[in-house]
Amino acid sequence: MNDVARDSSTNQTVTVTDNSTGKSVELPILGGTVGPRAIDVRRLYAETGCFTYDPGFTSTASCESAITYIDGEAGILMHRGYMIEDLAEHSDFMDVCYLLLHGELPKVEEKEAFEHSITYHTMLHEQMNYFYRGFRRDSHPMAIMVGVVGAMSAFYHDSTDISDPHQRMVASHRLIAKMPTIAAMAYKFSIGQPFVYPRNDLNYAENFLNMVFSVPCEEYKISPVLARAMDRIFILHADHEQNASTSTVRISGSSNANPFACIAAGIASLWGPAHGGANEAVLQMLQEIGSKDRIPEFIERAKDRDDPFRLMGFGHRVYKNYDPRAKVMQKSCHEVLGELGVKDPLLGIAMELERIALEDEYFAEKKLFPNVDFYSGIILKAMGFPTSMFTVLFALARTVGWVAQWREMIEDPSQRISRPRQVYNGHTEREYVPLDQR
């Protein structure tokens, strides 16, 4: 497990007393290096006959992890101790991938070797192309991603033995390397253009842009500004602790399912509009608002408990402060639109919406701030991506986080198959009623 010094002084305990029986049980408190401590409840059921109850796991630590730390109150996000703002400013996505997987920023030769491995795994098995023909042209690209990534299990058998560290490493590199190729092919398929093969002379972000936007008929000039913005967007989406899709990957992996199936499960979970699908939903919301003068109407709807409408790109299960990724994303938004000379009225609506919402006591009281999805869609739209590809890009970037968390779980000696329990509120035993007597 993590070799960073832990605060071993937390050999503290809590005592839980069942007041109906007077029986007490003393439980240890688990302390990490920073952040909330956890009551270790593993003996609770055996000693009290009671489960804990925590729908949505809002107060439950599902694992120990050394990869990402979030302080939701302060709006802090760190990967292996490095602040996301520093990584977004000074690192590139390959740096961050290596950091998430290995725990340290790579030295020059380590980065060269890692980047070479990723570059030389970007091609897909040629036969996987045929999967795309099985989809309708108007399929949502996330549906294609779930299908094709899951199907990798049928092609890369030599990296599905999760007990073999070498195979875990190969599967990790294959997933990180091939996700841009699969994503770009999903886009090309949807617009009826030919697939573009990866190029080994381009870096990760450049290669992805080339596979998405180039056509065989002419040379595609890769804008360094767009490539840097793409790389930064990948960094901002790389990992985020035990969110819904990462927990899905961990739970799938706890049954020793192969890594490709686990990542496909993560993609499926991320698709939801309450999670990674929010970036697509933000654009649709801004387009529905249409003009600044309609913002108050939508703010009121978001505050109306009887109206299911929510301000997409606002609020977060953990952040009760500004999502630090949103700040970097907003800065990139201005850079990219400025560089491209794009005057998108949606950006003006988004900024006015943010200003009004942040001054509104409802949002202040519920601590609802813009999250990572609020500005990302505007940049991606300016870069030429259709809204249906926004969550695909989120999945592409999050693959390294899912893989790093999956490997940490597999390599954690205390990990067991995930099997939550329940509070049963159905029928107690009753006599069977034959059909002719019902």
Q: Are 64 and 47 in contact (CB under 8 A)?
A: no
In the bound state with ligand SDX, the residue whose beta carbon lies nearer, of 310 and 327, is 310
What's the min distance (Å) between Cβ of 42 and ligand SDX? 25
The answer to whether 68 contacts ligand SDX (rule: CB under 6 A) is no
What's the rounded Cα separation, in Å, for the pair 119 and 421? 43
Phi, psi (5° rounding) for residue 39? -85, 120
Cα gap 242→366, rounded to integer Å: 22
Q: What is the DSSP letter of 176?
A: H
Nearer to ligand SDX among residue 146 and residue 318 (C-beta): 318
According to CB under 6 A, which one of 368, 378, 395, 397 is a site residue for ligand SDX? 368
**Binding positions for ligand SDX, 132-151, rule CB under 6 A:** none
Examine residue 372 and tell whether it contacts ligand SDX (CB under 6 A): yes
100 in Cβ contact with 400 (< 8 Å):
yes
Please say if 316 is a catalytic residue: yes
- For position 334 contacting ligand SDX by CB under 6 A, the verdict is no
Q: Which residue is catalytic, options 79, 373, 412, 427?
A: 373
Structure-block tokens of residue 75 = 């709006």
Segment interacting with ligand SDX (CB under 6 A) among 115-123, 129-137, 138-146, 363-371: 363-371
373 among known catalytic residues: yes
- Report DSSP state, residue 139: S
**Cα–Cα distance between 34 and 437 in angstroms, integer?**
63
Q: Which of 140, 240, 316, 323 is catalytic?
A: 316
Q: Of 274, 284, 294, 300, which one interacts with ligand SDX (CB under 6 A)?
A: 274
Cα–Cα distance list, 303 to 272, 273, 307 (Å): 22, 19, 8
Size of the site for ligand SDX (CB under 6 A): 22
Residue 227 · residue 233 · CB < 8 Å? no
Both tokens of 289, joined, read 């608002």
Residue nearest ligand SDX by beta-carbon distance:
315
Site for ligand SDX in 9-28 (CB under 6 A): none
Interacting residues with ligand SDX between 180 and 199 (CB under 6 A): none
Q: Are strands 82-83 and 76-79 parallel, antiparallel or unpaired?
A: antiparallel
Q: Where are the alpha helices (DSSP H) in 290-340?
A: 295-303, 324-340
Binding mask 306-325 for ligand SDX (x = CB under 6 A): ----xxxxxxxxx-------
Which residues are designated catalytic?
316, 373
What is the binding site for ligand SDX (CB under 6 A)? 240, 243, 274-276, 278, 302, 305, 310-318, 366, 368, 371-373
